[in-house]
Every structure is written in C-alpha cells, then in structure tokens.
Amino acid sequence: MQGTEPRQRLDKWLWYARVARSRSLAQKLVASGAVRVNGQRCVAPDRRIAPGDGLTIAIAGRIRVLRVRDPGARRGPATEARLLYEDLSPDPAPPQ
C-alpha cells in the first residue's frame, strides 16, 4: 500500500531535530535555498520528508548531511532530537 509511510513537513522536522532554533527560522532556512532533499534544492517549507531521505543543509558556515530516521512527534530534548537523524556530515576542515 503506497503512501502509508510517516511523513513530516520539512520545516517542522528541522525544528524537531533542533537544526533550527524556531519553526520560523526553519522556514526561512528552507526558503533561502540552503536545504537540499535527496540532492534536489528545496525552497518549499511544506515539502514532505520521510525516513530514508537525505538532507544537505548549509548552516552557520558549514555543511550538514543528515539522513532522516524518524519524522518525530514533538520537539523534545536534544538527546531525543538526535534519534531523528543519522549525521553523515564530513569532518570540518582544519583552520588554515
């Protein structure tokens, strides 16, 4: 049966996962074009994401690469937020 997998709005998920401090900042981050979903640039905060989707996020001068594990149900503590994704980000470059 198609369409039964749990999905979440991108802006809401970024807020739940504590990538953004507020939902409005998450919306602005997406609208600015700083987020790619499965390699495709996304500017729609209402884009639906599901477990297994890959996110590339340019934030605070670095690139974060995350794989969605769970859509989440609330914005909980940081320990709970880390369970929503797998961090595949490259190590930061050493200062020159």
95 is a domain residue: no
Residue range 21-55, pLDDT digits in tens:
999 999 999 999 999 999 999 999 999 999 999 99
How far apart CA 19 and CA 42 sit, in angstroms, is 16
More confident residue, 10 or 4: 10
The CATH number that applies at residue 57 is 3.10.290.10
3 is a domain residue: no
23 is a domain residue: yes
pLDDT of amino acid 95:
72
Please give the tally of structural domains in the chain.
1
2 is a domain residue: no
Domain coverage including residue 17: 8-87
pLDDT of amino acid 1:
42
Average pLDDT value over all residues in the chain = 93
Query: Hunting for tokens 């640039």 — which residue is that?
Result: 41
Q: How confident is the model at residue 2 (pLDDT cuts 50, 70, 90)?
A: low
More confident residue, 11 or 3: 11
Q: What is the DSSP string of 23-59?
A: HHHHHHHHHTT-EEETTEEE--TT-EE-TT-EEEEEE
